[in-house]
Every structure is written in structure tokens, then in C-alpha cells.
Amino acid sequence: MQSRNKLDNAAFDIITQIPSLRELRLADNELCREIPSTIGSLVNLEILDVHNNRLSHLPTSLRSLVHLRHLDVSKNRFTALPMDILSSLPLTELFASHNALFAALFSSTTGTSDVFSKLQVLEVANNALAALSFESTLDFPALRRLDVSNNRLNALPDMTRWTALSVLLAEENDLQCLPQGFVGLTHTMRSASFRCNNIRLVELEVANMHALEVLSLEGNPLRDRRYLVMSVDEMKRDLLRKAEVEGEMF
């Protein structure tokens, strides 16, 4: 069997002497603990992929990567990410699934009004997160795809201002209801999966989610169990009939 390639410090030092480098892909290199701080010299770096290693920390020098837009740290050993550093970067894609992240992804010391204003993709599935944030609000004005599947979430932040969100994967958590603001994403939300949670009620306003094509609710203790097998269009029609009977106006 061919042995796995490893990147030693000498080789990494050579790489970091190329300041014009824009992409650095170091997956499957058995990198341990922390990326060397010399990575901060790659000031033009736009893509950093270190997935499937044994990393547990990111260096503070990452703050120097002022052009970084894609960061993949999935399949490592992170228990937390330095959001105060990452939020200062122009990230559009952040992948951190299959780690050991716990508690809240965003701490109370991380500002919430301008955090990740350019972020379009956030994937943190298969961790042990109890929350995205313990704060009441968290703004993602450009976020298009969010994957928080297989964590320990019992709620998600208010999504009212997440006006670009079109794909939401929140399977295998402990969500008690659809997230606040979810039903207001009438023209952007296309696909959402809440499989295997603890949701009991589908709000009538789902009938007004015009862009919604997929809504997966299998494995939830819904009061109206017909919605477990209905298509989205069938569900919308049924909810609309209920709204008319109850005199609800959208």
C-alpha cells in the first residue's frame, strides 16, 4: 500500500516564500495541531484547503490573509474556530464539518451586526454544536447555503434578515419548531430539510413560500402526520385551505 504523503515544516517554509500564491490545498497530509504561523506571509491567498488532517488550532497570523474567500477545515479536530479572526476576512465559503466543535460556533464577543457580510456557504455538519450563537440575532445577508446537520441544536437564530438563503440542511438535531423568520423567506428558500428533529407544527405561512420546492420533515412528531408523506405542493394547498377556514391572512 502506498504511504500517505506528508508535508514537513521545511517544505511548508518553501511554500510560504511564494507571496503571489492564490491557492493552497493541503488535504490528506497528516498536518497536526496548528498550521505554521508563516502562512501569514501568503498575503494574496484566496483559497486554503486543509481538510482531512489532524489540526486543532488556526494561527493568529491567518488575519493577514486579507484576500481569503474559501476556507476548508473539515475533517479535523477543531473544538472551536477563532471567529474574531475569521470574521475579519472576506470569506464567501467556510467548511468545518466533521470536527469536534461544541457550545456555540459564534461567541458573545463576536460582533453580530457585520459578521461575515460576504459569506455565502457555511457548512458545520457532524459536530456537537449546541447553538450557532447564544445571542438573539446573527446576520448573514449573503448566505445562500447553510448545513448544520447532525449537531445538538434545539433552535436556530432568527432568519428574518437572511434574505439570500435558499438551501437549509438541519437534519438530526433537536429543533422544536421551524426557525423564526424561516416562513418569511418566501422568494428565496428552495430546499429545506428538518429530518429527525422534534418539530410538531408546520406553520400556515409555509403555504406562502413561493420558491419552496423541497421540505423534508420525516422523523418529526408532527401533529398532522400527513405532512410527513405529502409533496410540498400538496402541503401548501392543504395549509392554504386551513388558513382560509381559520380566516388567516398572509
Quick one: pLDDT at residue 138? Answer: 87
Q: Strand 93-95 to strand 102-106: parallel, antiparallel, or no bridges (unpaired)?
A: unpaired
Quick one: pLDDT at residue 114? Answer: 57
Grouping H, G, I as helix, E, B as strand and the rest as coil, residue 38 is helix
For residue 207, CA distances in Å to 141, 175, 218, 243 come to 24, 21, 18, 9
- CB of 202 closer than 8 Å to CB of 225: no
DSSP 8-state assignment for residue 4: P
Which residue shows C-alpha cell 413560500? 209
Task: Give the residue ranges of the chain where pLDDT is below 70.
Answer: 1-9, 108-115, 136, 248-250
Q: How many other CB atoms are there within 10 angstroms of residue 98's CB atom? A: 20
Contacts of 143 (CB under 8 A, 6+ apart): 116, 119, 120, 121, 122, 162, 164, 165
Quick one: pLDDT at residue 116? Answer: 84
Q: Using one digit for the tens of pLDDT, what is the confidence trace for 47-96?
A: 999 999 999 999 999 999 999 999 999 999 999 999 999 999 999 999 99
| 210 class by beta-carbon count within 10 Å (0-12 exposed, 13-18 middle, 19+ buried) | exposed
Quick one: pLDDT at residue 1? Answer: 30
Helical residues (DSSP H) of 25-74, grouped into ranges? none
- CB of 117 closer than 8 Å to CB of 138: no
Q: Domains of the chain, with CATH numbers? A: 9-246 (3.80.10.10)
Contacts of 247 (CB under 8 A, 6+ apart): none
Grouping H, G, I as helix, E, B as strand and the rest as coil, residue 135 is coil
